[in-house]
Structure 1
């Protein structure tokens, strides 16, 4: 499989290592300043770029019949437009806030727990996420996905960073050196607490999941998620 890496930072380099170890070839390494490149050289593109580049990277793939996997956050105000362009070009697309296989199981666990807690009004839900100091967005895309999983399965109407209203999920975002990512969802009452936590030990899990998604999407058309890749949910 010939892979284009759209974004060649720490994640791009880790994806390169994983892809090569699984017998794939890297045919393009595109940084933010690279404007001219032939995406058609690739069988599939993996986008871990920056928010200002992601939309153009992704839609360029659609227009050149190259399926694309994206883990870039901070551009999702243009997500629907990207999906429309994907459909118009009969393309293939997976966006995930987190490609870690364990995190995607955690997403399902979070939704199931939210359903169980829905009618237990004595519990208040909150979330904490911790990442390395180089992470640009807060809260993390993973935290937002977790919050949406709670909102979609309860009567809560939104989320907010730090102090939230009674009908919102409060998210605390911390930035600490050399922390790949920790997410904790807590339900607290006066008598007890229920916590679920996912702790990443390194970035390798994110990279492996992205490569597995790229392997899976070859030959397909449509907009998919990691639930489809892992056949869960």
Structure 2
């Protein structure tokens, strides 16, 4: 379903990743703006496809995934609403470095990558913001790799839950974290590099210990208290 209109332009203009553009820059950037909705499971692009667009998630969550050369290890990241991607490969890569799939139903905006790169390079405020975004992503990825490289399947499942909290969680009034999107045990197993059965066993143990609730595929927990 296509929605390109001034309503979305006005909405995007107020957001952090767009508010530092000048009016002229923003007009040029969004000249070919496209806003579409996709169902869960829709592939936006595959690893190796020409890097043609910069995307911004308006609603829902996108999974970014790349496998190593052996096909045995997957690197997974999630982009929730009010976040853009891909920042990796700006000004250097011709192809997308990973596959992007709708983890939930999504509404997503896109602009031509060539326009995004050209206009960003002209505005020091936006350039600094992009560098800050890339720095934050690198920091998160390094921490994530350190935490997930463990032989303990239980520890990997717990770390994967923590990653869900970081990438998609919302702070509840009680102080714990709610993942407001439906997350299957298969997705948890996928991120933690284990089986659905093992992921389910860990979740059941955490629930029995009062450390977590999993209702209608939505997780809720205190990130600092995830242990068995």
Q: Do they fold alike, i.e. is TM over 0.5? A: no
State TM-score, norm by structure 2: 0.33
State TM-score, norm by structure 1: 0.33
Higher relative contact order (CA 8 A, sep 6+): 1
